[in-house]
Amino acid sequence: MASKLQTKAIGSSGTEIFSGFIDEDYNKDLQFPQSTEVFDKMRKGDGSVMAILNATKLPLLNGIYSVVPASDSAQDKEIAEFVEFVFFENLVWQEFLTQMLICFDYGFMVFEKVYTKMGDKIVYKKLAPRLPKSVYKWLTDEPFVRADGEPGIEQQVFSDLAKDSLVTIPASKLFRVSINQEGDNYEGVSLLRAAYKHWKIKDLLYKIQGIGAERTAVGVPVARRTAEGTIQPKDLEKVQTTLENLRANEKQYLIEPFGWEFRFEKAEGKFEYEEAILHHDRQIAKSVLAQFLDLGVNKGALSQGKIDQELFLNSITAMIN
């Protein structure tokens, strides 16, 4: 006797989602929603990070888009013309595309569908952006779906006019875009995720370099007692305070008190900050296959640069498809 066909799924995708919160990244700082703050710092505070985002987005923003009919039939052509009108005339396509590509920064982007009537048709009045940082949680399974049983999102509303700080938007009203989605991880994986470690180390190197430049640009301050006799604690404390507070600046000066001699010792060892920073810049570029951005820094064959550019463009095409 033939077994009954199983039509219901038994297992699950394996995505760790509890009470509407997704727990996938091993780094707690990069778990949503903390990740939105980190990625925002990366893209707004680092030239190399902004460069790779621009390199991935600008070719898509500069593209020419059109709607192709499914066939040569009059009906399919009419449908294509209508869809083209809705997206390219009724909506401002370039603005929508710019908002949609925010998914590169954060891993996903959400829009709320707002409808209007146009004659006997219902069309999109707008696809209103709902920024990733405003998404509070995903309403997926019981008992965390909406009261009407439909999944969706719970959004944090930032407005003086909002009656409630949290609103629910059903899935039927949502348009979600994500990149590198694995399983049911609706948040996707940001293009900046692999670059995070290199950005963090580079940021720390800049801070250490800045502190070093301020503190020891003229050398390490050294004081030597030249007069004979016992050093009074209050005198020693004054000298120590003076040495600790010495900084390189345009009004820097020092008056040698009687019985003391001051000098500056140059540091013998020197850490190559620039080379270390350039290394992490290269790794940031490589994280999105944009190593061709470093051609002006590293010497290499021009042909290799062309190969890298082709690989990069192919990766963008695959991603957007």
The string of DSSP letters for 152-186 reads EEEEE---TT-S-SEEEEEGGGEEEEESS--TT-T
Q: Where are the beta strands (DSSP E) in 231-314?
A: 260-265
Which of the residue ranges 77-81, 112-116, 230-234 would you say has the lowest mean pLDDT?
230-234
| Bridge partner list, 155 | 135, 167
Give the pLDDT of residue 266. 73
**Mean pLDDT, rounded, of the chain:** 86
Whether the pLDDT of residue 229 is over 80: the answer is no
Whether the pLDDT of residue 106 is over 70: the answer is yes
Distance separating alpha carbons of residues 254 and 218, to the nearest angstrom: 13
pLDDT tens digits along 3-27:
788 888 888 889 888 888 999 999 9
Give the pLDDT of residue 267. 66
Distance separating alpha carbons of residues 43 and 196, to the nearest angstrom: 11
Whether the pLDDT of residue 136 is over 70: the answer is yes
Share of the chain above pLDDT 70, in %: 86
Q: Are 188 and 180 contacting, i.e. CB atoms less than 8 angstroms apart?
A: yes
Q: Kindly state the average pLDDT of the residues 67-87.
A: 93
Distance separating alpha carbons of residues 137 and 17, to the nearest angstrom: 10
Q: Which residue has the tokens 């009919």?
A: 69
More confident residue, 209 or 163: 209
- State the pTM of this model: 0.80
More confident residue, 33 or 310: 33
Give the pLDDT of residue 132. 96
Q: Which residues contact 299 (CB under 8 A, 6 or more apart)?
A: none
Q: Residue 210's pLDDT band (boundaries 50, 70, 90)? A: confident
Q: Give 233's DSSP letter.
A: H
Whether the pLDDT of residue 237 is over 80: the answer is yes
pLDDT tens digits along 179-208:
999 999 999 999 999 999 999 999 999 998
Q: Kindly state the average pLDDT of the residues 270-294.
A: 89
Give the pLDDT of residue 170. 92
Which of the residue ranges 91-100, 218-227, 310-319 would you say has the lowest mean pLDDT?
218-227
Q: Give 29's DSSP letter.
A: G
